[in-house]
Amino acid sequence: MDFLPEAIEKYAEDMSSPEPELLAELNKETWQKVLMPRMLSGHLQGRVLASFVQMMRPQRILEVGTYTGYSALCMAMAMPKGAKLHTIDVNDELKDLVHRYVAKAGFSEEIHCHWSDAKEVIQALDEVWDLVFLDADKENYCTYLDLLKPKLRPGAWVIADNVLWSGKVTQALDPKDKETAGLIAYANQVKADPDFEQVLLPVRDGLLLAQFKGTS
C-alpha cells in the first residue's frame, strides 16, 4: 500500500503537524503487539483525518472498523465541542486496548464503542451522521453505504479507506478476490449515484471522499 517513494512519504510526514504523543504510543504498541499492524491509519493519514474533521466540524461521526482505535482518536481530538463519535468493530479481542487508550485520551464520554456486527449496529443507532469513515470488511462497503444513506445529513461526508488496495483495483480481477471486487463495486456505486459528489485521493492506500448532496 506504499505508493510514494519512502523519502517523499517521510518528507510529507515531517512537513505535517507532529503525531500527538498518545497516538505515537498507540502506534508503537500496535506494531509491537497486534496482528496486521499495517491496518493502523498511521501518522500522515491520521493528520489528514484530523484536518477533515476540523474543516467539516461534524457533530456526529460514525467509524466502521475500529481496529486499535487510532483513527477514532485522531478524529475525536479534532471534534468540535459537544460532538460524539461511534465506532464499530466485530473483533472484541482489541476491546481492552481500545478502551484503555480512549480513557487515557479523556474521551470516554465522547467515543462510543460497539463490539458487534456493523450492519446490525448501523441499523440500530438512531443518529443522523455528519461524517462516516469506512475502514472495515471491503466486500461489504456497498452494503454499508446502502444502510447509511438514509441516515446521512445533507452535506455529510463518507470517507472510505483502502480504495486503491495496493493497486489491485487497477489490475485484472481474480474472481476469488472478494475484497478487491467489493472496493471496485463501491467506487462505481458512489460514482453512479447522483446524490454524491466524490474525489479519490491517493493518500496512503487511497481515500474516497463522497459528499451526500441529496435527500433520497
CA-angle at 130, arms to 128 and 133, nearest 5°: 110
Query: What does the pLDDT look like over 8-65, one tens digit per residue?
Result: 989 999 999 999 999 999 999 999 999 899 889 999 999 999 999 999 999 999 999 9
- The answer as to whether 131 is a domain residue is yes
Find the mean pLDDT for residues 186-193: 98
CA–CA gap between residue 187 and residue 185 (Å, rounded):
6
Find the mean pLDDT for residues 174-187: 96
- The answer as to whether 142 is a domain residue is yes
Question: What is the percentage of the chain residues whose pLDDT exceeds 90?
Answer: 92
Quick one: cell of 160?
472510505
When pLDDT is cut at 50, 70 and 90, the band that residue 80 belongs to is very high
pTM of the model: 0.95
- The answer as to whether 1 is a domain residue is no
- The answer as to whether 29 is a domain residue is yes
CB atoms within 10 A of CB 61: 26
- Residue 200: which of 179, 186, 182, 214 has the closest Cα? 186
- The answer as to whether 203 is a domain residue is yes
Quote the domain boundaries for residue 176: 6-212
DSSP H or E run through 133: strand 129-134
CATH number, residue 104:
3.40.50.150
Q: Residue 51: what pLDDT? A: 98
When pLDDT is cut at 50, 70 and 90, the band that residue 154 belongs to is very high
Q: What is the count of structural domains for the chain?
A: 1
CA–CA gap between residue 107 and residue 133 (Å, rounded):
18
Contact 1, 166 (CB under 8 A): yes
- The answer as to whether 43 is a domain residue is yes
Query: What does the pLDDT look like over 113-126, one tens digit per residue?
Result: 999 999 999 999 99
The b/e string for 124-144 (b: 16+ C-beta within 10 A; e otherwise) is ebebebbbbbbbbbbbbbbeb
